[in-house]
Amino acid sequence: MAIIRFGVSIERELLRELDNYTAENQFANRSQAIRHLINNNIITNKWNCNNIVAGSITLVYEHNKRDLITRLTGLQHDYHDVILSTQHFHLDKNKCMEIIAVKGKADRLTRLADNLIALKGIQHGKLTMSRAD
């Protein structure tokens, strides 16, 4: 992909905010920060427009909660068409983390994540989406 240089006029305060954002996120330069912000905007628009996106659902839970594993598995089977892979980690004796790689229409992925995160026994859950194109 070719890099194109262009000039931008920006208010001093907004430039200061961009520099703070660049430093806080440890970007090498303003250009990298701007590329990141533009990509985030594109992803958000694709998400809001219900386009095809890819992402992951991260869940943290105690595996010994009654019927939780059965309900997790059942929901994943209901959404088999958008689940690419799952990975299970043992964080300690009782606590597990599961990462589910997904690809599909943004609203379907959101529904899946919401249903999984709402299960009794899930301590934390998060859906992250990115561009699939």
Rounded Cα–Cα distance for residues 127 and 112 (Å): 9
- pTM (two decimals): 0.74
Residue 123 and residue 92 share a domain: yes
The CATH number of the domain where 126 resides is what?
3.30.70.1150
Shared domain for 67 and 37, answered yes or no, is no
pLDDT at 114: 92
- Per-residue DSSP letter, 51: -
For range 57-83, the mean pLDDT: 94
Banded model confidence at residue 111, pLDDT cuts 50, 70, 90: very high
pLDDT in tens, 73-94: 999 999 999 999 999 999 999 9
Same-domain check for residues 56 and 104:
yes
Start-end of H helices in 49-126 = 68-78, 106-117
For the stretch 5-36, pLDDT in tens is 888 899 999 999 999 999 998 888 999 889 88
CB 100 within 8 A of CB 89: no
Name the domain count of the chain.
2
**C-alpha pair distances (Å), 132 with each of 45, 47, 57, 94, 128:** 13, 11, 15, 35, 12
Whether residue 111 is found in the same domain as residue 65: yes
Range of the domain at 90: 52-131
Q: Are residues 68 and 123 in the same domain?
A: yes
Question: How would you class 133 by CB atoms within 10 Å of its CB: exposed for 0-12, middle for 13-18, buried for 19 or more?
Answer: exposed
Residue 63 has pLDDT above 80, yes or no: yes
In this structure, are 43 and 56 located in the same domain?
Answer: no
Amino acid at 102: V
Same domain, 74 and 102: yes
